[in-house]
Amino acid sequence: MKYLPRRSQLLLCFFILTLVYNLLHVKALETLPVYRLLHSEQISTTTGKTFIRGTTSASVPSSQTKTYFECVANLKKSSATLSQDTETERETEITPNNEQEEFVKCFKGTVAVFPLFSLLEFDISLFSEGGTCKGILIILPRDLLTTKTQEFVTFQNEEERESKEEIIKKLGQIESLLIEKEFRVPIYFINEDEVSHLFSFDNLNSENKANKQGSYNLKIVGKPGNKKKIKQVSSLEAWLPTDLDEEGKLKPTIIITANYDTFSISPALSSGLESGNNAVGVLVELSRLFKKLYSNPQTKGQYNLLFVLNSGSKQNYLGTKKWISSVDRKVLESVELVLCLDSLAIYDDDLESKRNNDLFIHYSNGGKVEVDKKVPMKFQSVSKLFGINAQTVTKKIMKNNPLISFEHEIFYRKKLKAITISNFQSYNQTIRKGSLLDLQKESNTNNNHMKTITTLIAEFLSKMIYKPQEQQQPIAIFENNFEPNNLVIQNINKMLLKYNRFSPFLEKDEQFLLNLENTFKSFGLDTKIESKKISLKKETYYYSGTQAKLTIFKVKSLLFEFFVFIISLIYLAGLYYILNGKKKTILEIKQLINNRKKKD
Amino acid sequence: MSFFYLFAVLAVLFVVPFIYFRISTKTQSKKKTPILYGVVAYLLTTLSKMILMATFLPDSDQEEADFTAQFEPVSALITIVVSSLDVLGCFLALRACSGHTEVKIFGVSFAWSATETILSFFLVSWIGCLKPEFNWIYMQNALGSNINLLRQIAFTHIIWVLWKGKFQNPDKGNIFIWLSAFFITPELFKLSEVLLGKYFIFGWVLLVIKFAVAYQLYITSKKYFQSFEQLKNNKKKN
């Protein structure tokens, strides 16, 4: 080195340092959070048979990864070569079944990595049997509702363009399939942000894929979890009373209800708001506004107001059913109207139908209870004042059908007049049932719209309570000091987004429930949390162990390990040289060479 | 997966002590008894330390290894006190064997370090290096064991000086301070790992710092040893 010119020495040093730095800087191990697909068991009361649903495995052994695009590309290559051979030898046609079999074979012995929307292109149930692959990792895109799904190249038809609503509907069907069928391979979900440096699916065109091909090994150490069933449901009540009448009896009551639980096919990802929980913030803000009004004797209404938050909405409104059966009879007899708040807005600017401003007033007709049609009409007229289109949806309740589509039906069956306000027209829409697409992020919250909805509902309630003569004009109470506060709604939403609210896993003393109770108490309302035990005829068990750690590491090439081996030999030689001394080492080397020459 | 990494790690683990062995035994007589006593002393000392740790070390409340909770001051203090048993073990090994001073010091330190390497690192490295995932930790451990050899040589020199000087060495105050550094520095390294986080590059930086500390301990102990030998030779001449 000392015989080289100075500049070359510096360059060589720089090169060696860069090489050493790059050598040392390679990240060998990385640990990321992953979320397991639901695992549930349902025991039939008639046959005693157990129906297993979702994924039954928890651990993924250390295995190589293969992405969806890799196997599609392989398939295309093999089909191209086969089509070239048809002239000469092959008679076998390439049928969809053959393609599917080859597609599944491609993932054998590896961890299959699928971006979420790729599930639209093949039947995921092909992987339900054990041995098809070591595990499935589904990557949830960064912005679930605003991703450019129209550019996604389909497996079967490259030219087809589908509207986003259709895609959401199809995804809903796939989600249903995932939790209705038994999968003997572990299925996990991971956020795109966590693995964007490893698997890039930005450009979804399979020909120009930016998928990083490296030999990555994945390992997931997951616990199967404990069997849990819904043992209890908790209800949070906030009571805003008015004065008793002259006979000392309760005046009429209006109940306003909402639900705080949600559902997701991965319980660890059940923190969304759009399936019905964005009404919680609205309900809390309504309670604050009306408490303020009732504090002034001049504006105190002649109705009692009862604000209720229930759980179990995705289990056929279990919480509401339990709550209504335990309410004080006197209160029940005084109920004039039940206003059920469902999902009040969907925050998606991409939706083609532009439904985010529409509301639907659901009520039931027929039978012994008739909702005064003036009530939905009143809501419609109030909503017009705020520029929101509200449509009525009526449904006859079949007594033999236990399925509850919307919450008001429970009250209807108890002979109470009730309506549900919802952003959804139908009960079985994907996001309303609880979906992975319901991962509402704080940044998506359209505060002005929620404020408008809150004002609208407050206006409607005040018209019910105060019964002004001029029904077509707004009462103009909810402005200035009585204007709904965005911050209250926003803070409640932010707080709920932090907690998983999958009802089978909820306990009596959940922190967010206690926070909500404290919020109501801070407004001055009489609040209590009541937990009721549940014993169902049909037992459904859910397994915990919904989160795991994924370890991902790059498998080093043979060349790299050989390089490390050479470096270690150089280190040992250098150490020997330093400890032994220069002269002795050179002497020993000369002796060795001379001995070899003598042997030769 | 290949065996190259395993061979590299095993080479670094065992060839360095072998180099030390070869260089040291060229000029000295090939006595094996110090090595034997060194091995026995290490095994007995480690067994005693394990019994004492099991008796006095408190249970950790953490269920999983929480990164921030890996360093506990009370446990560190108990570890430091228990580790001082090494002084007794080393002293007894030096006392038991016979021969030239340097042969004894070399034999005991080599045996102590080699036994530690075999028992602590060999099996872990064997299993870890054969895994499909690549992890630098095994190479870092192998280099760490080389640094431990240097540290052990320094430690044995200090024990010799303290023993033979019969505490009459004018530098004994300083020597005790340096001796305590042998026990405190491992816990300090653990604390720095916890505080600064296990950043990938940091593992290598920490290794360099450990080497620098071990080298300083070696230089100082060698200095005390040489000054002690000079003192002894002057007394003999007189």
Chain B interface residues (partner A, CB cutoff 8 A): 1-2, 4-5, 7-9, 11-12, 15-16, 19-20, 23, 131-136, 139, 200-201, 204
CA A3 from centre of chain: 66
**DSSP-based three-state secondary structure for A43:** strand
Taking an 8 Å cut-off on Cβ atoms, the answer to whether B2 and A553 are in contact is: no
Neighboring chain B residues of A558 at a CB cutoff of 8 Å: 2, 4
Partner-chain residue, chosen from B11, B134, B200, that has the shortest CB–CB distance to A553: B134
Interface test with B, best of A563, A564, A578, A591 (most B CBs within 10 A): A564
* Residues β-bridged to residue A111: A65, A135
- Provide the shortest C-alpha distance from residue B22 to chain A (in Å): 10
**DSSP-based three-state secondary structure for A51:** strand
Neighboring chain A residues of B17 at a CB cutoff of 8 Å: none
Neighboring chain B residues of A567 at a CB cutoff of 8 Å: 8
- Provide the shortest C-alpha distance from residue B211 to chain A (in Å): 14
Interface test with A, best of B5, B133, B199 (most A CBs within 10 A): B133
Q: Is the pLDDT of residue B21 over 80?
A: no
- Contact of A392 with A376, CB cutoff 8 Å: yes
Q: Would you state the pLDDT for residue A187? A: 93
| Distance linking the first and last C-alpha atoms of chain A | 33
- Contact of A407 with A420, CB cutoff 8 Å: yes
Residues 6 or more apart whose Cβ sits within 8 Å of residue A6: none
- Provide the shortest C-alpha distance from residue B11 to chain A (in Å): 8
Interface test with B, best of A221, A565, A588 (most B CBs within 10 A): A565
- Contact of A236 with A516, CB cutoff 8 Å: yes
Closest by CA to B9, choosing from A226, A275, A324, A565, is A565
Partner-chain residue, chosen from A555, A561, A568, that has the shortest CB–CB distance to B12: A568
Query: What is the Cα–Cα distance from B108 to B194, expressed in whole angstroms?
Result: 33
Q: Would you state the pLDDT for residue A154? A: 35
Taking an 8 Å cut-off on Cβ atoms, the answer to whether A579 and B20 are in contact is: yes
Partner-chain residue, chosen from B4, B200, B204, that has the shortest CB–CB distance to A565: B4
HEC string of A56-103? Answer: CCCCEEEEEEEEHHHHHHHHHHHHHHHHHHCCCCCCCCCCHHHHHHHH
Tokens of A564: 């490390």
CB pairs under 8 A between A and B: 72
Interface test with B, best of A215, A561, A582 (most B CBs within 10 A): A561
Sheet holding A539-543, edge to edge: A182-183, A50-55, A39-43, A539-543, A227-228
- Provide the shortest C-alpha distance from residue A265 to chain B (in Å): 28
Neighboring chain A residues of B16 at a CB cutoff of 8 Å: 572, 575
By CB atoms closer than 10 A (0-12, 13-18, 19+), residue A325 is: exposed
Q: Would you state the pLDDT for residue A514? A: 93
Angle at B33 between CA B27 and CA B39, to 5 degrees: 110
pTM over 0.95: no
Is the dihedral angle over the CA atoms B124, B125, B130, B132 positive or is it negative? positive
Q: Would you state the pLDDT for residue B65? A: 43
- Provide the shortest C-alpha distance from residue A89 to chain B (in Å): 40
Looking at A272-338, list the stretches that DSSP marks H as alpha helix, in order from N- to C-terminal side: 278-295, 318-326, 329-334
Q: Would you state the pLDDT for residue A483? A: 85
Taking an 8 Å cut-off on Cβ atoms, the answer to whether B5 and A556 are in contact is: yes
Q: Would you state the pLDDT for residue A346? A: 67
What integer is the mean pLDDT of B199-207? Answer: 69
- Provide the shortest C-alpha distance from residue B112 to chain A (in Å): 20
By CB atoms closer than 10 A (0-12, 13-18, 19+), residue B54 is: exposed
Closest by CA to A410, choosing from A274, A487, A316, A491, is A316
Q: Would you state the pLDDT for residue B166? A: 59
Partner-chain residue, chosen from A24, A555, A561, that has the shortest CB–CB distance to B4: A561
**Chain B CA closest to residue A61:** B132
**Chain B CA closest to residue A216:** B133
Does the complex come out with an ipTM higher than 0.95? no
Taking an 8 Å cut-off on Cβ atoms, the answer to whether A575 and B16 are in contact is: yes
**Chain B CA closest to residue A63:** B132
Taking an 8 Å cut-off on Cβ atoms, the answer to whether A572 and B11 are in contact is: yes
Query: pLDDT (tens digit, 0 to 9) for every residue of chain A, 600 residues total?
Result: 555 567 777 777 766 666 665 555 444 567 888 999 988 888 777 777 778 888 888 888 878 888 888 888 888 777 776 555 544 444 344 456 677 888 888 888 888 988 888 888 888 888 988 888 999 999 887 765 444 443 443 334 434 445 667 777 888 888 888 888 899 999 999 988 887 777 766 544 443 333 344 467 788 888 888 888 888 899 999 999 988 888 888 899 999 999 999 888 888 888 887 777 789 999 999 999 999 999 988 888 899 999 999 998 888 898 999 999 989 888 999 999 999 999 887 655 444 344 456 889 998 876 666 666 788 888 988 888 888 888 888 887 777 778 888 999 999 888 888 999 998 888 877 777 777 777 655 545 556 778 888 999 999 999 888 877 666 666 667 777 788 888 888 889 888 888 888 888 888 888 999 999 999 999 999 999 999 888 776 778 888 888 898 887 766 667 778 888 888 999 998 888 888 888 888 888 888 888 887 776
Is the dihedral angle over the CA atoms A312, A450, A426, A139 positive or is it negative? negative
**DSSP-based three-state secondary structure for B101:** helix
pLDDT single digits (tens) B42-56: 999 999 999 988 888
Q: Would you state the pLDDT for residue A535? A: 77
- Provide the shortest C-alpha distance from residue B36 to chain A (in Å): 25
Beta strands A539-543 and A39-43, pairing class? antiparallel
Partner-chain residue, chosen from A217, A560, A569, that has the shortest CB–CB distance to B132: A217
Question: Quick one: chain B helix, strand, coil %, rounded to 5?
Answer: 80, 0, 20
**DSSP-based three-state secondary structure for A393:** strand
Q: Would you state the pLDDT for residue A428? A: 77
Neighboring chain B residues of A29 at a CB cutoff of 8 Å: 133, 135
Provide long-range contacts, Cβ within 8 A and 24+ apart, for A41-44: A41/A227, A41/A540, A41/A541, A41/A543, A42/A538, A42/A539, A42/A540, A42/A541, A43/A538, A43/A539, A43/A540, A43/A541, A44/A538
- Provide the shortest C-alpha distance from residue A135 to chain B (in Å): 18
pLDDT single digits (tens) B23-74: 776 555 556 778 888 899 999 999 999 998 888 877 765 444 444 446 677 8
Q: Would you state the pLDDT for residue A162? A: 53
Partner-chain residue, chosen from B5, B132, B200, that has the shortest CB–CB distance to A27: B200
How many Cβ atoms are within 10 Å of B181's Cβ, its own excluded? Answer: 16
Query: What is the Cα–Cα distance from B202 to B198, expressed in whole angstroms?
Result: 6
**DSSP-based three-state secondary structure for A542:** strand
**DSSP-based three-state secondary structure for A537:** coil
- Contact of A286 with A256, CB cutoff 8 Å: yes
Taking an 8 Å cut-off on Cβ atoms, the answer to whether A62 and B136 are in contact is: no
Taking an 8 Å cut-off on Cβ atoms, the answer to whether B4 and A29 are in contact is: no
* Residues β-bridged to residue A309: A236, A258
Question: Residue B197: what residue type?
Answer: G
**Chain B CA closest to residue A64:** B132
pLDDT single digits (tens) B169-183: 556 666 676 677 777
Neighboring chain A residues of B136 at a CB cutoff of 8 Å: 24, 28
Helices B33-56 & B73-83, crossing angle to 10 degrees?
Answer: 150
